[in-house]
Amino acid sequence: MKSIDVFCHLMPRRYAELAMKESPNKSHMFLRALKMRAMSDMEYRQTVITKFPEYKQIPNIVSPPVELFAGPDQSPGIAAVGNDEIKKITDEHPESYEGFIAGIPFNNVAASIMEIKRCKDMGAKGVQIYAHMNGEAIDQEKFWPIYEICETLDLPILIHPVGGQKVPEFPAEDASKYELWFLIGWPYQTTVAISRLAFAGIFEDFPNLKIVTHHVGAMIPMLEGRIENGLKMYGGRTAPELKEKLTRTRMKGNPLDTFKKFYVDTASFGSAAAIRCGIEFFGKDHVLFASDMPFDPEQGPGYIDRTLKAIDSLDLSAEDQSAILFGNAKRIFHV
């Protein structure tokens, strides 16, 4: 059956070389990506993609985000190079790609808007941002113009987690242990980011904006009861003198309904249980196939294969399965 992978990654070599030159102390991040053959060797990547009949991708450039290693004056130029390179890659193999997801210099809002418009004209199908901007919350009003232009141009926003071992689990420690920053920290970050957007009124201001959250919506599907019932006492847990500052929200209506406006992907490293939970919470029309390729131990085919098999194991109707595998992607990404 046909499938469109909406959240998978690559690293154009020219972009990586420019980024490492700009920020040598961050080179290890790019060198790790370049060592993954399917991430930067496009001929090899093609051999992986063609293993799966009727499988296509809408790739993005892998983390780190450009704003992590370049200031607001440098990030626009580097982001533009990345977008030019990923467009070249996807244009060379239209049999394997349905366009690309643009990267933007999130630390420069004006430049981000210009780059979004440019990439839309180049054929971009969406825009990738991260769960925070160098520690700043993405629900701040200064970022609202980015969301506004994405809604206007009907470009979905894809949210990816970001962060590393320097953020500890406990305040008394100085680093994350056991790679929990990845195992638990990233899903937590994504959950907080989209929750903040929801409470800040993202869908009140931009009702037609489509936001795709990575990793099956992170923790949100598991929190249905807390969202539905815990928030019936919203504000009651906050000190009276802080209530106005900490609990004022622009979200209208039932919070559960607001959270269900997000779209999610199936990138769960092959977990059928996680995908089932996401479908039950968000609904089949808001779940899109994605693999997180090529971070699997097999360096390319592993997560594609396991995710396809996980979806197939869910005993979905043919109609629902096709919607998740490619129909929903065709609808929201216009491919």
**C-alpha–C-alpha distance, residues 83 and 75, integer Å:** 12
Q: Is the pLDDT of residue 27 over 80?
A: no
Q: Which of 100, 97, 103 is nearest to 48 (CA)?
A: 97
Predicted TM-score (pTM) of this structure: 0.96
Per-residue pLDDT tens digits for 62-117:
999 999 999 999 999 999 999 999 999 999 999 999 999 999 999 999 999 999 99
The boundaries of the domain holding residue 165 are 1-331
- Taking only the tens place, the pLDDT of each residue in 242-271 is 999 999 999 999 999 999 999 999 999 999
How confident is the model over 159-180, as a mean pLDDT? 93
Tokens of 269: 């490293």
**Model pLDDT, residue 281:** 98
Query: Dmax over Cα atoms in the chain, in whole Å?
Result: 61
Q: Which of 186-190, 229-233, 291-295 has the lowest mean pLDDT?
A: 229-233
Quick one: pLDDT band at residue 32, thresholds 50, 70, 90? confident
Quote the mean pLDDT of the chain.
Answer: 96
Residues in the chain: 335
- pLDDT at 127 exceeding the cut of 90: yes
Place of tokens 């113009």: 145
Rounded to an integer, the average pLDDT of 160-181 is: 93
According to the model, what pLDDT value does residue 33 have? 86
CATH number of the domain within which 75 lies: 3.20.20.140
| Residue 147, pLDDT score | 99
Sheet hosting strand 157-160, strand order edge to edge: 101-103, 126-130, 157-160, 211-213, 263-265, 287-288
Flag whether pLDDT at 21 surpasses 90: no
Number of domains present in the structure of the chain: 1
- The per-residue pLDDT for range 302-312, each reduced to its tens digit, is 999 999 999 99
Among residues 87, 158, 90, the alpha carbon closest in space to that of 120 is found at: 87
Cα distances (angstroms) measured from residue 220 to each of 8, 12, 89, 184, 244: 21, 33, 34, 13, 25
HSE (CB half, 13 Å, CA atoms) of 79? 33
Classify 334 in phi/psi space as left (phi over 0), alpha (psi -120 to 50) or beta: left
Q: Which amino acid is at 282?
A: F
3-state helix, strand, coil in the chain (%, to 5): 55, 10, 35
Q: Is the pLDDT of residue 236 over 80?
A: yes
The pLDDT, as a whole number, for residue 245 is 94
Residues 6+ apart with CB under 8 A from 262: 194, 198, 211, 212, 213, 217, 220, 282, 286
Separation of alpha carbons 148 and 126, rounded Å: 13
Confidence of residue 22 (pLDDT cuts 50, 70, 90): confident
- What SS3 state is found at 4? strand
**What local confidence, expressed as pLDDT, does residue 26 receive?**
73
Residue 21's H or E segment, with its range, is: helix 13-22
> How much is the pLDDT for 1?
81
